[in-house]
Structure 1
Amino acid sequence: MESNVRVSLKIDAIHSVTEVNINTSDRKIGENLLDYINKFSSSTTNKLGIKTPEGTVMINKSDIMFAEIFDKELTLTTTKQELTTRMTLSTLQQKLGSSLIIQISKASIINVHFIQKVNPSFSGNLIATLANGKKVSISRRYVKNLNKVLDI
């Protein structure tokens, strides 16, 4: 069986930057490859400093399960703790930079790695159950994003 993907690697010491070109006839494959490659070009540190009233707490980005903003305070739920900060939701999303952290409502984001189950709600929303048992609502407007990321 012949593969429809060709991959090649050229190492050239003359170049001072790494350059990646993707040539494809399938837009979805191209976008998925680009997302995957961008993960490597973003910040190499997995740590994130969160300013809280008690001081700056260092957490692992991969430990963030869910974040929700309410009354100008962002509550971060991690695998180990819950933190409150004055950071904006969009700033947090930018710092995380992962395609697996998706917006699920106007005021919240979720790490899809921690979703255990998704059930429909009576209003057309979805209810996601996280690994820690917490249930969060996914707005109808953002269901398409979730389906795309989960490939369902």
Structure 2
Amino acid sequence: MKITIEELPGAELEIILRCPRADEQIRSLANRISALVEGRIAVRAEEETRLLEPEEVLYIEAVEGTAFVYTENAVWPTRLTLSETEGLSEGFFRCSKSMVVNLRRIERLCSGLNGRLIATLANGEKILISRHYAAPIRWALLNG
């Protein structure tokens, strides 16, 4: 595999993937790159890929090796990792080992047991923020 980056001032961003055959892995890579560049999250919806705006997302959770994107009305599987989704929008923040939350969709925070926080999201759902991430999330919400 060869990766070439050309810097051309004033040029439009263009990404070309040259391959002998555009299989599922290459198409998945193209979807990931597109989502990362556009700041949107690629999710799978039956036989198609859908791109969600960050504002639509409440949180992303990893369950048994698969990440799921939760919106107010639906749950979508995604091929993105939690680490990749953290960097998509400045409002996305790790809140536990298996979850990234959209700080802009948190409506209330309450103290929980053992230094944890309970966040109430825009749809009324409550999620647990582990004590390891509680202080950074408080700081991000107060200073963000």
CA contact (8 A) 1:66 1:109 kept: yes
TM-score between both structures, scaled by the size of structure 1: 0.63
Q: In the alignment, residue 93 of structure 1 is paired with which amino acid?
A: E
**CA apart distance, 1:123:** 2.8
Which consecutive residues of structure 2, in runs of 5 or more, have no partner in the other structure? 1-8, 11-35
Question: What does residue 15 of structure 2 align with?
Answer: none
Are residues 1:150 and 2:141 paired?
yes
SS of equivalent residue, structure 2 residue 137:
helix
**CA apart distance, 1:53:** 5.2
Q: Deviations over 1:32-59 (max 9, x none)?
A: xxxxxxxxxx94x354322355431221
CA contact (8 A) 1:65 1:114 kept: yes
**CA apart distance, 1:99:** 2.2
Give the Cα separation in 2 of the matches to 1:112 and 1:138: 12
Question: What does residue 83 of structure 1 align with?
Answer: 76
Question: Which residue of 53, 61, 67 maps to 1:60?
Answer: 53
Are residues 1:127 and 2:125 paired?
no
How many percent identity over aligned positions?
27
SS of equivalent residue, structure 1 residue 151:
helix
**CA apart distance, 1:103:** 0.5
Q: Which 10-residue stretch deviates more, 80-89 or 133-142?
A: 80-89
Aligned length: 110
- Misfit runs of 4+, over 3 Å: 45-48, 51-54
Question: Which residue of 33, 43, 64 maps to 1:50?
Answer: 43
Which consecutive residues of structure 1, in runs of 5 or more, have no partner in the other structure? 1-15, 18-41
TM-score between both structures, scaled by the size of structure 2: 0.66
Greater C-alpha Rg:
1
SS of equivalent residue, structure 1 residue 91:
helix
Question: What does residue 107 of structure 2 align with?
Answer: 116
Indicate the RMSD between aligned Cα atoms, in angstroms.
2.2
Question: What does residue 92 of structure 2 align with?
Answer: 101
Q: Deviations over 1:3-26 (max 9, x none)?
A: xxxxxxxxxxxxx58xxxxxxxxx
